[in-house]
Amino acid sequence: MNNITIVIAEASCLIQKGLDSILKNLGDNQIIQKMNKAEGLFESISTLKPNILILNPGLLDTNVELINEECGKLKACKLVIISNDDEAEKKYSADAFIHYEDGESKILSCLESLKDDLDKKDKKVKLEEPISAREKNILKHIALGLTNKEIADQLFISIHTVVTHRKNITQKLGIKSVSGLTVYAILNNLIAMDEVK
Amino acid sequence: MRITKDMKMADVIQMNYMLIPVIHRFGINLGFGDKTVKDICSETSVDLNFFLQLVNTYHDKDYFPKEELQSIPSKDIVAYLRMTHSSYLNEKLSEIEESIELLQHGEAEDEKYILLIRNFYEGYKNELTEHIMHEEEVVFPYVLAVEEIYKTGLVSEKNKKIYDSFSILKCQDAHDDVEEKLMDLNTIMIKYLTPPLNTSLYHKIIQLLFMLEQDLSYHARIEDKVLVPKMIAMEKMISELN
């Protein structure tokens, strides 16, 4: 799975650090950026393209209109509003809300569900199927010890295509080395043990 | 948590048992009662500063010794790395190999697959051994030569030859390949292989592989974070001298 980038935009150092330490329990594959100033906030967000933005409206002087407008422009970014205002849900169009008095488990479950949403979206792009017939064929050739060029020539495809297939195979199987892929190929009867050179 | 000189050595080990082989390489044995890190280092004449930096680099992957870095003689680091190398070659690698062999004798039906694992491991072992020998024969002598040139400001005939033949930048990405294979082996054993009847031995092998992987990554961290930056700085100074 790819890294998830989270931006915490919060002026209070206590809240920022606290959130940061809670977020660490969310998993390893995340990058957390912290910001504590309103200046340049949305500019940096548009370059960082975070998956989740945790924003305290106080940072922007609780300017509801500005926040809704700017955050509306964020595509593919989940917005979490952090506030002690009971009316926050009504004011802002956010994906989730964190209140000052929320416990750690509540905050985590709120962010986990956002993360799950992101993962689902991610998976639609990638293939669910373990490894396609085409990839199996390429894998067979790799296991037989052929170079990218040789595989490309034999299958009448470009080297670039072979490289792409290889990348996908490695990603799907979690095996990087040629000898590892060979073992996989033998275990799955793609090639026989005595075919290996 | 940072390991400090006033901590009890026993607490250090209880905090991270992976440090047991590390302190052993320093010649420190278990059974230290309530003695502190400082006490034990002075008893066994281990350089306290070096010891602390090393265990902290092992213990915390984000730890990066900065100022203290230059003060430790490369020859101490090299001596330590050589100790780790010999523990890999003489103990860890053969321990795993023996376990895999044992698995193979266990039963007949799965022999084919175990053979695959064995061959794969054999290939990995050869590669790691080759990598270690390269460091022993090329990298370490180079490091020692650079340090001598740096310290004395003189370039002897012998050192000049070594200095010209290599540069520390060449060994920076060499670690990845070796690590990759080990991870693949674990992935295959966990994801794709039907475990043999002797599951407890099979599990032990996987755990040994994980421990080796971790130990190797610690080892690589010492090289990449301590030795390599030190060498880069020295190379720079030397090239400015010339």
Residues 6+ apart with CB under 8 A from A22: A104, A107, A108
Mean pLDDT, residues B70-95 taken together:
88
Same-domain check for residues B129 and B165: yes
Same-domain check for residues B41 and B96: no
Is B184 at the interface with chain A, CB within 8 A? yes
Is B187 at the interface with chain A, CB within 8 A? yes
- pLDDT in the model for residue A74: 77
B211 vs B70, residue with greater confidence = B211
- pLDDT in the model for residue A125: 47
CB spacing of A179 vs B187 below 8 angstroms = no
Q: Which of A174, A179, A193 sits opposite B187 (nearest CB)?
A: A174
- pLDDT in the model for residue A26: 79
Identify the CATH assignment for A4-125 out of 3.90.650.10, 3.10.350.10, 2.60.40.3500, 3.40.50.2300: 3.40.50.2300
Q: Which of A180, A187, A193 sits opposite B181 (nearest CB)?
A: A180
CB spacing of A177 vs B181 below 8 angstroms = yes
Architecture per CATH, domain A133-195, reads as: Orthogonal Bundle (1.10)
Residues 6+ apart with CB under 8 A from B94: none
Mean pLDDT, residues B187-210 taken together:
89
Residue where one domain finishes, among candidates B46, B67, B88: B67
Range of the domain at B57: 9-67
Checking if the pLDDT of A119 tops 80, the result is no
**Per-residue pLDDT reduced to its tens digit, A174-189:** 999 999 999 999 988 8
Same-domain check for residues B63 and B77: no
| Residue B156 in domain | yes
Chain B residues 191-220 within an 8 A CB cutoff of chain A: 191-193
CB spacing of A183 vs B191 below 8 angstroms = no
Query: What is the ipTM score, two decimals?
Result: 0.77
Is A177 at the interface with chain B, CB within 8 A? yes
Best residue in A175, A190, A194, A197 to probe B by mutation, most B CBs within 10 Å?
Answer: A175
**Per-residue pLDDT reduced to its tens digit, B144-158:** 988 888 888 777 877
**Per-residue pLDDT reduced to its tens digit, A138-154:** 999 999 999 999 999 99
Mean pLDDT taken over chain B:
85
Mean pLDDT, residues B73-97 taken together:
90
Report whether A114 contacts A91 (CB < 8 A): no
Confidence tier at A197 by pLDDT (50, 70, 90): low
Chain A residues 58-97 within an 8 A CB cutoff of chain B: none
- pLDDT in the model for residue A138: 94
Same-domain check for residues B33 and B119: no
CB spacing of A183 vs B116 below 8 angstroms = yes
Mean pLDDT, residues A96-118 taken together:
86
- pLDDT in the model for residue B209: 94
DSSP assignment of A28-52: SSEEEEEE--STTHHHHHHHH--SE
DSSP assignment of A95-138: SEEEETT--HHHHHHHHHHHHHHHHHHHHHHS--SSS-HHHHHH
Checking if the pLDDT of B14 tops 70, the result is yes
**Per-residue pLDDT reduced to its tens digit, B115-130:** 888 999 999 999 999 9
B188 to chain A: which residues are within 8 Å by CB? 175, 180, 183-184, 187
pTM of the model: 0.69
- pLDDT in the model for residue B40: 94
| Residue B4 in domain | no
- pLDDT in the model for residue B65: 67
Mean pLDDT, residues B104-108 taken together:
67
Q: Which of A174, A176, A193 sits opposite B191 (nearest CB)?
A: A174
- pLDDT in the model for residue A29: 65
Report whether B92 contacts B212 (CB < 8 A): yes
For helices A133-143 and A148-155, what crossing angle results, to 10°? 130
A28 vs A55, residue with greater confidence = A55
What's the gap in Å between the CA of A171 and the closest CA on chain B? 12
| Residue B197 in domain | yes
Reading the block at residue B187, the tokens are 């992935």
Please give the Cα distance from B223 to B201 (Å, whole number). Answer: 33
Counting the structural domains of chain B, the total is 2
Percent of chain B with pLDDT over 90: 32
Amino acid at B126: N
Same-domain check for residues B148 and B182: yes
Checking if the pLDDT of B178 tops 90, the result is no
